């Protein structure tokens, strides 16, 4: 992979978690209160069904069970655990717990993808956790056992889904949008009974609610997940996992720009550290090192 191509793929893929970082703002400002599972189902299921209808293709053979596993890991289980963590933990603590995801991808990638664990990867993991902690962790943040377990389960679900997506790829002749649609549909179907029994449907829906649901479904799911799964194909699994740090970064920036929240010096430092960790984990440096090594040999 050329350095320029890797950089473009990294920047393009980072758009997905950056969009997901806007979910909190859209949820609090536009959606009905206390309906996280409803938001998840509306976010996943309509977009998934639309992509399946447009693609006019269903999984075949082993891709039925593979799609079921990926849809549950990448969408259904991840959303569920994420919202359980959000209910039991302050946002900053939940985000900090989720930073174990790249570490899990590092270990799973070594076992399932044959990826080598390098010192730079470990340094990136430490920097990423430190940066997110400075960015989002508030003083006197309380821990909750259920919330921490749910956050770790969500991170493990997404990390496993990412690595398996990288290992299995997608069926020959099936486009990335159709592949995305399969997983969104599975995730939405899995979440639907939890939503109906746990939350039910709101009595009224406003124009603001509809605009928020449309944003989450079209931008936050259909387009963002298509970009995300394309990035998994193009980039190393660990590099993709680090791009998820763009989510708390975008959420912090949006809170400052849209909601008028203030940023402390430590938060700004955290943002710089997060960006450094993400850049350090990208494959562009491996490419440049190889080029520099060949240049030294030739001279």
**Residue 299 pLDDT > 80:** no
Flag whether 121 is in a domain: yes
CA atoms of 135 and 130, how far apart (whole Å):
9
216 close to 209: Cβ distance less than 8 angstroms: no
Structure tokens given for 3: 């350095």
Of 60-69, 210-219, 286-295, the range with the lowest mean pLDDT is: 286-295
* Per-residue tokens: 16: 């997905």
Q: Which two tokens stand for residue 94?
A: 């939940």
Closest-CA residue to 125 (of 253, 16, 276): 276
In a domain, 298, yes or no: no
In a domain, 232, yes or no: yes
- Pick from 24, 156, 165, 150: nearest CA to 88: 150
pLDDT at 94: 65
More confident residue, 20 or 139: 20
Task: Answer whether 222's CB lies under 8 Å from 169's CB.
Answer: no
Examine residue 272 and state whether it is found in any structural domain, yes or no: yes
**Residue matched to tokens 């473009």:** 8
**pLDDT digits 0-9 by tens, 202-250:** 888 999 999 999 998 999 899 999 999 999 999 888 888 888 888 878 8
Q: pLDDT: is 133 or 176 the higher one?
A: 176
pLDDT at 182: 96
What is the average pLDDT score of the chain?
A: 83
Please tell me the total count of domains within the chain. 1
- For residue 196, tell me if it sits in a domain: yes
pLDDT surpasses 80 at 150: yes
Indicate whether 207 belongs to any domain.
yes
Is residue 299 assigned to a domain? no
Domain that holds residue 274: 3-293
Q: How far apart are CA 76 and CA 79, in angstroms?
A: 5
In a domain, 269, yes or no: yes
Instruction: With a cut of 50, say whether residue 296 has pLDDT above it.
Output: no
* Cβ pair 242, 128 in contact under 8 A: yes
pTM: 0.83
């Amino acid at each position: 992979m050329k350095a320029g191509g890797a950089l473009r793929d990294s920047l393009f893929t980072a758009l997905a978690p950056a969009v997901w970082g806007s979910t909190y703002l859209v949820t609090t400002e536009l959606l009905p209160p206390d309906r996280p599972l409803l938001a998840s189902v509306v976010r996943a299921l309509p977009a998934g069904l639309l992509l399946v209808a447009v693609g006019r293709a269903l999984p075949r053979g082993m891709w039925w069970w593979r799609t079921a596993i990926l849809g549950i890991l990448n969408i259904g289980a991840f959303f569920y655990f994420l919202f359980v963590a959000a209910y039991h933990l302050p946002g900053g603590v939940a985000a900090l717990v989720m930073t174990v995801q790249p570490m899990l991808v590092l270990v799973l990638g070594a076992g399932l993808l044959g990826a080598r664990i390098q010192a730079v990867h470990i340094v990136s993991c430490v920097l990423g956790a430190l940066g997110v902690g400075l960015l989002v962790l508030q003083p006197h943040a309380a821990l909750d056992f259920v919330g921490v377990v749910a956050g770790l389960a969500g991170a493990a679900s997404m990390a496993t889904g990412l690595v398996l997506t990288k290992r299995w790829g997608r069926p020959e002749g099936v486009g990335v949008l159709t592949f995305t649609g399969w997983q969104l549909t599975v995730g939405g179907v899995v979440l639907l009974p939890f939503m109906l029994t746990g939350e039910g449907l709101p009595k009224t829906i406003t124009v603001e609610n509809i605009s928020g649901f449309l944003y989450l479904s079209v931008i936050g799911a259909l387009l963002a997940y298509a970009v995300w799964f394309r990035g998994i194909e193009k980039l190393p699994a660990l590099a993709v996992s680090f791009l998820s740090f763009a989510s708390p970064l975008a959420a912090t920036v949006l809170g400052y720009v849209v909601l008028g929240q203030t940023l402390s010096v430590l938060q700004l430092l955290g943002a710089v550290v997060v960006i450094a960790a993400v850049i350090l984990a990208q494959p562009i440096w491996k490419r440049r090192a190889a080029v520099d090594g060949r240049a030294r040999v030739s001279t």
